[in-house]
Structure 1
Amino acid sequence: MLVDIIEVTAQGLAMSSSKNPLNSPIIKFFCIFIFALLCVIVWGYFVAPQSENSSVDGSTDQTEIEVRLDVDQVAEKTPEEVVSILGEPSSQETVTPSNTPCPCDKFIYRGGKVEIVYINGKADWITAKYPPSLIKGEGPFLSVDQFPSYSFVKVKTP
């Protein structure tokens, strides 16, 4: 009797697996298609996003980028001359960097986005808290240090 039950169960399992709708080639194709589609969507959205100013071929249209600071316009200018370019400073302090002929004035412009240390009365150390792509300057400058979120320019004084 136990052998008969096992045989009937085995035959039932064999029949049910051949009639299982999940074994259908159409269902398998549909599942693979949905999985591939999801992979493409995730890759396109998270892995390879395009920047706002990039075209399909990856080049950047320079006419759409607004330069936030032209260092050449403010380098070696007096505070009075810089006001006509950047506007009134939001704050001022006296700083004494090492190895400089200071104490010197440091002015903050554009809500803290631009800091200028005036050495010998001229704009010399310029920090711009914009990505390097938004800062223009041809120099010659003593040094230019660029970081992802800001740039630091030394015009003459090391």
Structure 2
Amino acid sequence: MPFDEIIGHDSSLKESIELAKESILYPSNGLPVMITGRSGVGKSYLAKKIYEEAKALGVIDKNAPFVTLNTADYANNTELLSSVLFGYKKGAFTGADHDSEGLIDKANNGYLFLDEVHRLSKSNQEKLFSLIDNHTFYPLGEVENPHVAHIRLICATT
């Protein structure tokens, strides 16, 4: 199993691995996960192992997506981050000459890993909470037809 590949899975990290397993198996759609730690300790590695373990356990499809975004790349442009995460409709802003699918749509039925999640703006945090609560969201420029997405969310922060 993928967790068995982590050094310390049966000793120093045993409790953390058990919590990660619980997050995968929690009925009915798992639990969102927050991984904390200093830079370089393996937060991204653990996120990928959680995804692999979920596939190995048959909780998600073998072809389920694993989509990653480092939110720090967009820390100074919250609207651009919003368009990357949630997508946008044609005409939503200057230069939006076509509809664009966001990373949440791309992660549907799989995992979305948000690294440096503490860099999210309050408005983007609220949009994510809404997604977690009711599995719906609106791309930028959309006001009538919410998108439905069933994602498992992993966040990492220092």
The alignment's TM-score, normalised by the length of structure 1, stands at 0.22
- Greater relative contact order (Cα < 8 A, sep 6+): 2
Structure with a larger share of its residues in strand: 1
Tell which structure's C-alpha radius of gyration is larger: 1
